[in-house]
Amino acid sequence: MTTFAPSDYQPPASRNAVKRVRHYGAVVPALLAAAIALLPIAVVLAIALSGDGSDWPHLIQHVIPRSTATTLWLLALVAAGSASIGVTSAWIVVAYDFPFRRTLAWMLVLPLAVPPYLAAYAFAEFLHFSGPVQSAVRSVFGFVTPRDYWFPEIRSTEGAALVLSMVLYPYVYLTSRVVFIMQGRNIGDVARTLGAAPLKVLRRVLLPVARPAIVAGVALVLMETLNDIGASKYLGVQTLTYSVYTTWLNRSSLEGAAQIAVMMLVIVLAVLLMEQWARRRQRFHVGRATQIKSHPPRVRLSGLRAAAATLATALPVSLGFGIPVYIFGDYASRRLYQFTDPDLAEALVNSIMVATAAAIVTVFVALLLIHAARLDRSRPVAIATRLAMIGYALPGTVLGLGLLFALARIDNTVDALARDLLGVSTGLIFTGSAAAVVLVCSIRFMALAEGALRGGIEKLPPHLDEAARSLGRSPTRSAVGVMLPLLKPAVLTAAVFVFVDTMKELSATILLRPFGFNTLATSVFEDASRGAVEDGAMASLAIIATAIVPVVLLSGALMRDREANL
């Protein structure tokens, strides 16, 4: 008979401590991923503080005030525009029934497939003096020269805000529509039964409840606006992002570029704090599952009101998605010989190679982070996992600038050691290589992969891997043999998201790519920089066609959601 001594007893806290120590090795990949994600930020801060200040008078007098004011004005306009379009469209498709509502409900997401820089090229061509709009104006009114009439200038801050709003509003549309669907089924219906008109319900009831979700969508829009460099450069808008690029390359001032980048980080921090502040009470507005399943009837529109609703929801799709496809499709139809262009083929191969590598690396690291968080629920792992996702909140220009010089320092250190120990020079190993592009895209899009994978894990039984370990499998074998096969759809979704966003990425790629190494995005950027947008039409269509894949998947998932009553 086994006897039990008091010294054999182990309190629950001690058992938890033993278990935590047993899996403490899971902290290593999380800490390493967090360190790599924070490395570009640390380098940018170090460079900004290391300067002698010689460029500061020029920056403070000619660059920073103008760029900061322009950036803040652009952010305000884009926030207002995307919020107006996204909230209005979401409310119309949720509250009313009109012709083509179901089709337009998912088509409203399509502008996400168009990168902002491609939208800028397309809008500039569409609204140009020789474009279809001004040509129609001259034909109707008999004008001959630009002096005969006034036409709004697309190459302006306001024009850039229009372009960015047209392709970024789906972020607000998606977040606000979910809240309207969930909350509109209870508190909105109560307000309508008390005699409130639909517009009053929207203004007094739904908008206050949806404010956290709307702010979250606007925050994503502002992040993408800060990240943009192609649209602002082409439209002649001197934003902080563009100023980082020009200060470094045109003035050869690395310290000045880093100092401007630090100002961008301050704006990013302000946006994140704003989003966190808006979500501080979000937990009080979550509807219960039993309430979500109720399907109240929409207000059926007819006549002019139905036509107005159809037009209001079709117009954003036509502008944000239709104009780019029309412009690039028209140019590409007259350049079919580009199908055999070796430069285009090389750019396509480079894009696929970089995007595939980034997807594999990002998904693999995201799986390691999630595995570490499940094994070791300690605070260091939780903090490290959160920090590893910080890249998505940072502009690609800042990441590219910091990573470039971090890799250059590593290359110089390796070269110095090789010279001292072996008498040979290794040269540049990482700097100016495709691996640098893969690394920066992995850092930037880690949050996308982690979010998709976490969503897949949350759909699995919570103790599935623990059951496998109780049968004698090690944590690694249970993760690979049990969890990973069940996560194949989530892994595929995460890989597709990272692949597509890497195909579209321009800000970081333009800084880190090797000499003579073009992706589809940089190829289009070079064509636009020399005033030949039409030459990049085929590459532009390839980018849009690739980006449509996750958008269609997302829209299909929404259309299949029966509880959403789409």
Domains of the chain: 25-48+335-529 (1.10.3720.10), 55-291+304-330 (1.10.3720.10)
Give me the pLDDT at residue 474, please.
57
Cβ atoms of 179 and 210 closer than 8 Å: yes
Integer Cα distance of 430 and 154 in angstroms:
40
Reported pTM? 0.81
Cβ contacts of 8 within 8 Å, gap of 6 or more? none
Max CA pair span of the chain = 108
Integer Cα distance of 229 and 216 in angstroms:
23
Q: Rounded to whole angstroms, what are the CA distances from 559 to 93, 127, 301, 318, 496?
A: 13, 34, 21, 21, 20
The secondary element (H helix, E strand) that includes residue 358 is helix 342-375
Cβ atoms of 366 and 453 closer than 8 Å: yes
Q: What is the mean pLDDT of each run of 10 residues along the chain (566 residues)?
A: 46 44 62 85 84 73 87 94 93 88 89 91 91 89 86 92 94 83 56 56 66 82 88 90 81 79 84 71 46 58 90 95 94 85 89 92 87 74 81 82 85 84 78 86 87 70 59 58 69 84 86 86 88 88 86 62 46
Give me the pLDDT at residue 16, please.
45
Cβ atoms of 403 and 444 closer than 8 Å: no
**SS3 annotation, 131-154:** CHHHHHHHHHHCCCCHHHCCCCCC
Q: Of all residues in the chain, what percent are helix, strand and coil, respectively (each to 5)?
A: 80, 0, 20
The β-bridge partners of 158 are none
Written as one letter, the residue type at 112 is: L
CB atoms closer than 10 angstroms to residue 25: 12
Dihedral over alpha carbons 524, 525, 531, 532 (to 10 degrees): -10
The secondary element (H helix, E strand) that includes residue 384 is helix 379-388
At residue 54, the 3 state secondary structure works out as coil
Give me the pLDDT at residue 198, please.
61
**b/e map 212-250, b = 16+ CB within 10 Å:** bbbbbbbbbbbbbbbbbbbbbbbbebbbbbbbbbbbbee
Dihedral over alpha carbons 384, 388, 393, 396 (to 10 degrees): 150
